[in-house]
Structure 1
Amino acid sequence: MSEYKVDYFSKYYFYEEEDFLEKIEDGNYILNQIKESNRFDYKGHSFKYTKFGNISMGDTKRDVDVVIDLEQNKITINGENAHLDLIYKFETKELEDHMRIATRISEKTDDISCLLYVNNAQSKSFIKDLEYIKKIQEDRMNKR
């Protein structure tokens, strides 16, 4: 079992404008704000238009605890079980002092894009653990 402290963990939810107004509290207010400035921070979330014309709602947490249990094929983020869809998306980019990992996370009602920023001191072992989990996911997919 490996324990990590991830500097930033961001989840991004994407909405068409009509769905956004139905699903998001204060949707009209937020929509008016992002139409003026293209980005608006509100109640702990960041809202903006994407290059595809839909709306993204970002939720970023700092200093997040991530536990990867290779024996159980289990990932826990801040004490909650998480399923990272590593076979569908697993992109890494080395930054000056961090490694950025882009993937998807499955939640009960949605598949959500997410970014994890891991400091360079622990990024190699973190990515190695994720690659192991990805291989298990691929093996399970191929057995179907």
Structure 2
Amino acid sequence: MGKYKLDYFAKYYFFEEEDFLKEEEGEYILNRIKESNRFDYKGYSYKYTKYNNISKGCTQKNVDVEIPKESIDIILNGDRVHLDLIYKFYTKKLEDHIRITTRISEKTKEVSCLLYIDYIQANDFIKELENIKKLQEYNMKS
């Protein structure tokens, strides 16, 4: 079981405009986005995507991650979560981080997420995520 500290953890929800209007304060937020292309409100950042959808993003700093042995899930700030690594798992080297792009399963949604980890921890962390992905793939075949 490895323990790591993410520099940043970001989640992004995506909406069609008509669906976004059904969200709490959707019309108010949508009007603000139309005025300035981005609107930060109640801990979330809202903007249009390149596909003309609306994204709702939130970012946390200094996030604790534990990877239990022989588990298909991880522990993120004390909560067990499922990363959909078999569907999306990309890494990219940035100036002072490795960025990992994947999806996280929530009760009613699949949510895009970005995990940023420093180079000191990155290799071990990515190896553990690759092992989780292998377990997920094995479970799909069983």
TM class by shorter chain equals over 0.9
Check whether the contact 2:72–2:133 (CA below 8 A) recurs between aligned residues: no
Is 1:76 paired with 2:75?
A: yes
For residues 43-100 of structure 1, the C-alpha deviation after alignment (integer angstroms, 9 at most, x for no partner) is 1100000111110000111100110012333301011110000000000000011000
TM-align CA RMSD? 0.9
Alignment correspondent of 2:35 = 36
**Which TM-score applies when normalising by structure 2?**
0.97
The 8 Å contact of residues 45 and 59 in structure 1, kept in 2 or not, is answered as: yes
Mapped partners of 1:73, 1:51: distance in 2: 32
Measured in 1, the distance between the counterparts of 2:42 and 2:36 equals: 17
Query: Take 1:18 and 1:124, find their aligned partners in 2: how far apart are those partners?
Result: 42
In structure 1, the partner of 2:113 is: 114
Residue 36 (structure 1) shift: 1.6
What residue number does 2:61 align with? 62
CA contact (8 A) 1:70 1:132 kept: no
* Structure 1 stretches of 4+ moved >2 Å: 70-74
For residues 102 and 74 of structure 1, what CA distance do their matches in structure 2 show? 16
Q: Distance in 1 between matches of 2:59 and 2:71?
A: 27
Q: Secondary structure at the match of 1:41?
A: strand
**Structure 2 unaligned residues grouped into runs of 5+:** none
Aligned position for 2:10? 10
Tell me the CA shift for residue 41 of structure 1: 0.6
Structure 1 residues not aligned, in runs of 5+? none
| Aligned residue type for 2:78 | G
Aligned length: 142
Which 10-residue stretch deviates more, 29-38 or 45-54? Answer: 29-38
Letter in 1 for 2:74: I
